[in-house]
């Protein structure tokens, strides 16, 4: 059983089930596990329709290899679908509680789309204008320290809102941030976690995008106390990537070695403001030791504001 | 801020410090004096209520079966049984220890409530988890008892623990999960007893210590370090809020043998010393000051004297005229001037700049002293070690002056 690609007629079927009429359906690039469509309705409004594959691939494989009896197959199939659904349901729950994340619209809750043996969760989500950071023009052009400060300021504010709502994102990457006309927005809350939630990941399973994820994500057990500091780490790395495009091709060890990065940073801009940005902010975001990262988001925002103020002076 | 580290023969010294406004608080030692006696003195002298009062509970004496607990044994919170792994495994023991130590401190009317501490040989000691558990119980009890005082955790560790940076990092990583529950931390380092130079500190371990303080500050904690001396200027450079120091050398340098945790040999006669913050060194008055050749007195006195009340007596040159209480006061006076200066500086860069200047001045003053007074050289190796430790700290943390 191979992966199934959702077609325009599948989308049409879903729309009809919900008595919705679209004037256009536009397939967008996949976002992780999600197949994404932009749907425009007759009132001119567009919305993002996402399908998340929760099909029980492993169960089917085991059944085909005769590892499961008929009864076991049904039990395992239900179990696998439930397990695959958990993460997305958690994301949708987080979105409801956390106003900065994309919000559900058109339909109040997610729904299930079945196609033969395949199963998908689907839902409509607010459309954000812009492109993911890695595809944006901002990423393709040289940027100065002001852009970095602006990026960090907006992102830290969003992380603070998530933190206040009790969530940690745990998968911030340039693909999970939308950029449009000076505005940055976190999307894709796939790994958001609240410490009050049940443990959804098994012990020592890596969670996140390895290149950007904080070291504690690779080695900590499922009862680890997550907090916003885990989200600050990728923020530091992404800021470095925006400012220093050539670091995007560094291996994981090098991009995390601040003593390697600093001379490159300084060779691009050795002004006091740039050096201060690195030493006061970037280092204390992208340091591998969690306890050395900023432990107070208000203080971090204040420091960023001060750096913005330096310019005005 | 300077806190007097309570110790033997305390009353006249404290009175003098209080009268001259040389201390901002007292870290009381219930091992040294009966609580009733301390309460009586505090009651009779209102000056004590104007400063911060905190207690070093010294529960860790029960981790050493051959230790000499002195008056600690009289106190309700002090465990009857040795604190070993069996003791720590029993939740009841922990709860009782924490509960009674809080009541004891409330009754003593402290400004800051201190959690019991445990002695760590290393930051990956097996009892670290128990220490964290105890601190959480402490937080829970203080909250339940609805006590609105600052909450400090406290820790004592062997100097050698400062060598392993990755153990310290793991300790801080775990502690950072609960650090927001507390206002501060009180630290004691058990210094190794193998250094003849009273101000020296291995640069690698000293670097570990200042990094530790800086990291704790970045976790939003107030940091108080007990039993320290001149080296504390480096602690203030990285943001320490207060130190505990005292009149005797044993109150400026905690060593578990001298402190009765382990058997000890007798200590020698005390020399009268002048604390020069221009040299970051305590000079023996007779041997190292009064022996200065007359022709160099003007220059070297200028490089030594730190603008203290005792300076007049030093200039008169009669050792008999200088008593031990004079030199204790001079130590506090000299240290306070500099510490107040550093603490006033805004931001870590300015504090570090100020301390780096102090180190440069001390280095050149010691060099000049040794040049002009070759028969009585001052060993200034500690300044080099301080500089190394601070330089590495600045480099590691991308702090540019």
Fold (CATH) for A8-125: Phosphorylase Kinase; domain 1 (3.30.200)
Top-tier CATH class for A131-312:
mainly alpha
Domain extent, residue B304, equals: 273-396
Minimal Cβ distance to B169: which of A275, A289, A294: A289
Is the predicted pLDDT of residue B173 greater than 60, yes or no? yes
Model confidence band, residue B70 (pLDDT cutoffs 50, 70, 90): very high
On whether both B222 and B277 belong to a single domain, the answer is no
Kindly report the nearest CA distance between residue B174 and chain A, in angstroms. 8
DSSP A58-97: HHHHHHHTT-S-HHHHHHHHHHHHHHHHHHHHHHHHHHHH
Q: Which residues of A touch B175 (CB under 8 A)?
A: 291
Question: Taking a C-beta distance cutoff of 8 angstroms, is the pair B217, B223 a contact?
Answer: yes
Q: Which of A43-47, A206-210, B74-78 is least confident?
A: A206-210
**Token reading at B262:** 């382990």
Model confidence band, residue A206 (pLDDT cutoffs 50, 70, 90): very low
Minimal Cβ distance to B219: which of A225, A279, A295: A295
Of B68, B184, B15, B209, the residue nearest B115 (C-alpha): B184
Q: Is residue B129 within 8 angstroms of chain A, CB to CB?
A: no
Question: How high does pLDDT run on average in chain A?
Answer: 88
Q: Which residues of A touch B182 (CB under 8 A)?
A: none
Q: What's residue A2's pLDDT?
A: 86
On whether both B51 and B98 belong to a single domain, the answer is yes
In percent, the amount of chain A with pLDDT more than 70 equals: 90
User: CB A25: neighbour CB atoms within 10 A?
Assistant: 17
Q: What's residue A69's pLDDT?
A: 87
Model confidence band, residue A312 (pLDDT cutoffs 50, 70, 90): very low
Q: What's residue A207's pLDDT?
A: 52
Question: How high does pLDDT run on average in chain B?
Answer: 94
Closest residue of A to B347, CA-based? A280
Question: Taking a C-beta distance cutoff of 8 angstroms, is the pair A264, A243 a contact?
Answer: no
Of A121, A106, A123, A125, the residue nearest A178 (C-alpha): A125
Model confidence band, residue A209 (pLDDT cutoffs 50, 70, 90): confident
How many structural domains compose chain B?
Answer: 2
Model confidence band, residue B170 (pLDDT cutoffs 50, 70, 90): very high
Q: Which of A52-61, A176-185, B261-270 is least confident?
A: B261-270
Q: What's residue A198's pLDDT?
A: 36
Q: Which residues of A touch B218 (CB under 8 A)?
A: 284, 291-292, 294-295
Does a structural domain hold residue B289? yes
Is the predicted pLDDT of residue B9 greater than 70, yes or no? yes
Q: What's residue B196's pLDDT?
A: 80
Is the predicted pLDDT of residue B256 greater than 90, yes or no? no
Q: Hey, where are the domains in chain A?
A: 8-125, 131-312
On whether both B100 and B210 belong to a single domain, the answer is yes
Q: What's residue A313's pLDDT?
A: 43
Minimal Cβ distance to B400: which of A216, A275, A290: A275
pLDDT digits (tens, 9 = 90+) for A146-156: 999 999 999 99
Minimal Cβ distance to B399: which of A227, A279, A289: A279
Q: Which of A47-51, A216-220, B38-42, B282-286 is least confident?
A: A216-220
Q: Which residues of B touch A296 (CB under 8 A)?
A: 220
Q: What's residue B15's pLDDT?
A: 94
Question: Taking a C-beta distance cutoff of 8 angstroms, is the pair A13, A7 a contact?
Answer: no
How far apart (Å, rounded) are the C-alpha atoms in residues B169 and B14? 38
Is the predicted pLDDT of residue B262 greater than 90, yes or no? no
Minimal Cβ distance to B173: which of A278, A283, A291: A291
Range B26-40 burial, b when 16+ CB lie within 10 A, else e:
bbbbbbbbebeebee
B289/B259: higher pLDDT: B289
Model confidence band, residue B258 (pLDDT cutoffs 50, 70, 90): confident
Kindly report the nearest CA distance between residue B209 and chain A, in angstroms. 15
Measured at the alpha carbon of residue B250, what is the angle toward residues B249 and B256, in degrees to the nearest 5?
Answer: 145
Question: Taking a C-beta distance cutoff of 8 angstroms, is the pair A38, A48 a contact?
Answer: yes
Measured at the alpha carbon of residue A266, what is the angle toward residues A263 and A268, in degrees to the nearest 5?
Answer: 115
Does a structural domain hold residue B261? no
Does a structural domain hold residue B116? yes
Stated pTM of the model? 0.88
- Residue whose tokens read 């204390």: A284
Strand intervals (E) in chain A: 22-31, 34-41, 46-53, 104-105, 111-115, 118-125, 131-132, 177-180, 183-186
| Pairwise CB contact (< 8 Å): B397 & A283 | yes
Expressed in angstroms, the distance from the first to the final Cα of chain A is 63
Q: What's residue A192's pLDDT?
A: 58
Is the predicted pLDDT of residue A200 greater than 80, yes or no? no
pLDDT digits (tens, 9 = 90+) for A52-104: 999 999 999 999 998 888 889 999 999 999 998 988 888 888 788 788 877 88
Q: Which residues of B touch A289 (CB under 8 A)?
A: 169, 172-173
Question: Which residues of A touch chain B, with CB atoms under 8 Å apart?
Answer: 216, 225, 227, 229, 258, 262, 275, 278-279, 283-284, 289-292, 294-296
Kindly give, in sequence order, each residue whose CB lies less than 8 Å from that of residue A48, ignoring residues fewer than 6 positions away.
A28, A36, A37, A38, A39, A102, A124, A125, A126, A127
Is the predicted pLDDT of residue A34 greater than 90, yes or no? no
Beta strands at B112-114 and B52-55: parallel, antiparallel or unpaired: unpaired
How far apart (Å, rounded) are the C-alpha atoms in residues B292 and B375? 9
Q: What is the mean pLDDT of residues B120-134?
A: 94
A161, HSE (Cβ side, Cα atoms, 13 Å): 15
Does a structural domain hold residue B256? no
Closest residue of B to A227, CA-based? B177
How far apart (Å, rounded) are the C-alpha atoms in residues A151 and A156? 9
CB within 8 Å of chain A, chain B residues 187-216: 215
Q: What's residue A210's pLDDT?
A: 83
Same fold flag, A8-125 and A131-312: no
On whether both B105 and B205 belong to a single domain, the answer is yes
Is the predicted pLDDT of residue B268 greater than 70, yes or no? no
CATH at residue B90: 3.20.20
Q: Is residue B399 within 8 angstroms of chain A, CB to CB?
A: yes
Q: Which residues of B touch A290 (CB under 8 A)?
A: 173, 176
Is the predicted pLDDT of residue B148 greater than 80, yes or no? yes
Beta strands at B150-158 and A183-186: parallel, antiparallel or unpaired: unpaired
Q: Which long-range contacts (CB under 8 A, 24 or more apart) does A58-63 make?
A: A60/A1, A60/A117, A61/A1
Is the predicted pLDDT of residue B38 greater than 50, yes or no? yes
pLDDT digits (tens, 9 = 90+) for A275-285: 999 999 999 99
How far apart (Å, rounded) are the C-alpha atoms in residues A235 and A249? 17
Q: Give the DSSP H/E element, type plus range, for residue B152.
A: strand B150-158
Q: What is the mean pLDDT of residues B238-266?
A: 83
In percent, the amount of chain A with pLDDT more than 90 equals: 63
Instruction: Name the 3-class secondary structure at A278.
Output: helix
Q: What's residue A139's pLDDT?
A: 92
Closest residue of A to B214, CA-based? A292
Q: Is residue B398 within 8 angstroms of chain A, CB to CB?
A: yes
The ipTM, to two decimals, is 0.87
Q: What's residue A221's pLDDT?
A: 63
Model confidence band, residue A202 (pLDDT cutoffs 50, 70, 90): very low
Minimal Cβ distance to A291: which of B215, B397, B398: B215
Angstrom distances, CA of residue B237 to CA of B2, B215, B353: 14, 13, 8
pLDDT digits (tens, 9 = 90+) for B206-243: 999 999 999 999 999 999 999 999 999 999 999 999 99
pLDDT digits (tens, 9 = 90+) for A258-279: 999 999 999 999 999 999 999 9
Is the predicted pLDDT of residue A190 greater than 80, yes or no? no
Q: Which residues of A touch B220 (CB under 8 A)?
A: 295-296
Does a structural domain hold residue B260? no
Q: What's residue A203's pLDDT?
A: 35
CB within 8 Å of chain A, chain B residues 135-174: 169, 172-173
Model confidence band, residue A253 (pLDDT cutoffs 50, 70, 90): very high
B187, HSE (Cβ side, Cα atoms, 13 Å): 27
Question: Taking a C-beta distance cutoff of 8 angstroms, is the pair A238, A174 a contact?
Answer: yes
Minimal Cβ distance to B400: which of A225, A229, A279: A279
DSSP classification of residue B287:
I
Minimal Cβ distance to A295: which of B176, B397, B398: B176
Closest residue of B to A261, CA-based? B398
DSSP classification of residue A256:
T
How far apart (Å, rounded) are the C-alpha atoms in residues B380 and B17? 29
């Amino acid at each position: 059983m191979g992966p199934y690609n959702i077609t325009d007629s599948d989308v049409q079927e879903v729309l009809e089930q919900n008595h919705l009429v679209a004037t256009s359906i536009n397939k967008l690039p996949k976002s992780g596990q999600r197949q994404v469509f932009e749907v425009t309705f007759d009132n001119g409004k567009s919305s993002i329709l996402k399908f998340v594959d929760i099909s029980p691939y492993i169960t089917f494989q085991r059944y085909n290899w005769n590892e499961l009896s008929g009864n076991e197959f049904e039990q395992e199939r239900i179990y696998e679908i439930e397990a695959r659904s958990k993460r997305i349901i958690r994301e949708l729950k987080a979105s409801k509680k956390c106003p900065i994340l994309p919000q559900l619209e058109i339909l109040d809750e997610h729904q299930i789309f079945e196609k033969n043996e395949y199963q998908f969760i689907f839902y409509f989500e607010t459309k954000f204008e812009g492109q993911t950071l890695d595809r944006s023009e901002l990423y393709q052009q040289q940027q100065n320290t002001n852009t970095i400060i602006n990026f960090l300021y907006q992102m830290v504010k969003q992380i603070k809102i998530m933190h206040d709502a009790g969530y940690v994102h745990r998968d911030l990457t340039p693909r999970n941030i939308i950029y449009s006309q000076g505005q940055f927005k976190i999307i894709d809350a796939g790994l958001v976690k609240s410490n009050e939630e049940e443990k959804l990941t098994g012990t020592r399973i890596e969670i996140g995008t390895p290149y950007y994820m904080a070291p504690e994500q690779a080695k900590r057990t499922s009862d680890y106390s997550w907090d916003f500091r885990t989200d600050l780490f990728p923020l530091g790395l992404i800021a470095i990537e925006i400012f220093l495009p050539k670091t995007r091709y560094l291996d994981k060890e090098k991009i995390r070695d601040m003593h390697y990065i600093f001379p490159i940073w300084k060779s691009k801009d050795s002004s006091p403001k740039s050096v201060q940005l690195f030493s006061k902010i970037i280092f204390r975001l992208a340091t591998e030791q969690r306890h050395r990262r900023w432990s107070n988001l208000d203080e971090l925002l204040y420091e960023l504001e001060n750096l913005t103020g330096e310019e005005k002076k | 801020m300077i806190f007097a580290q309570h110790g033997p023969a305390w009353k006249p010294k404290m009175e003098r410090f209080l009268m001259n406004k040389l201390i901002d608080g007292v870290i009381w030692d219930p091992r040294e004096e009966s609580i009733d006696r301390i309460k009586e003195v505090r009651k009779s002298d209102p000056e004590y209520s104007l400063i911060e009062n905190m207690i070093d509970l010294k529960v860790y004496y029960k981790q050493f079966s051959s230790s000499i607990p002195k008056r600690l044994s009289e106190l309700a919170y002090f465990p009857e049984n040795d604190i070993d792994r069996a003791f720590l495994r029993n939740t009841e023991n922990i709860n009782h220890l924490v509960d009674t130590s809080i009541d004891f401190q409330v009754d003593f009317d402290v400004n800051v409530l201190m959690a019991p501490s445990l002695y760590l040989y290393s930051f990956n000691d097996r009892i670290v988890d128990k220490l964290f558990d105890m601190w959480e119980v402490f937080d829970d009890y203080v909250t339940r008892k609805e006590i609105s005082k600052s909450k400090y955790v406290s820790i004592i560790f062997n100097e050698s623990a400062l060598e392993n940076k990755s153990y310290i990092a793991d300790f801080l990583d775990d502690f950072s999960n609960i650090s927001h529950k507390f206002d501060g931390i009180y630290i004691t380092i058990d210094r190794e007893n193998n250094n003849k130079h009273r101000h020296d500190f291995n640069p690698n371990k000293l670097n570990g210590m200042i990094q530790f303080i800086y990291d704790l500050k970045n976790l939003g904690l107030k940091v108080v370090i007990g039993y320290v001396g001149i080296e504390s200027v480096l602690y203030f450079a990285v943001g320490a809020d207060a130190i505990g120091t005292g009149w005797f050398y044993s109150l400026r340098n905690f060593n578990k043998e001298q402190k009765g945790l382990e058997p000890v040999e007798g200590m020698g006669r005390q020399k009268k010393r002048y604390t020069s913050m221009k040299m970051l060194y305590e000079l023996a008055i007779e041997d190292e000051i009064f022996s200065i050749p007359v022709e160099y007195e003007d220059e070297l006195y200028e490089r030594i004297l730190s603008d203290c009340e005792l300076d007049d007596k030093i200039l008169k040159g009669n050792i008999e005229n200088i008593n031990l209480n004079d030199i204790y006061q001079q130590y506090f006076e000299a240290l306070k001037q500099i510490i107040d200066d550093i603490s006033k500086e805004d931001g870590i860069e300015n504090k570090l700049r100020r301390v780096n200047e102090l180190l440069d001045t001390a280095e050149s003053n010691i060099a000049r002293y040794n040049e002009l007074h070759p028969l009585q050289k001052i060993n200034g190796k500690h300044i080099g070690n301080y500089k190394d430790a601070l330089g590495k700290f600045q480099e590691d943390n991308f702090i540019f002056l």
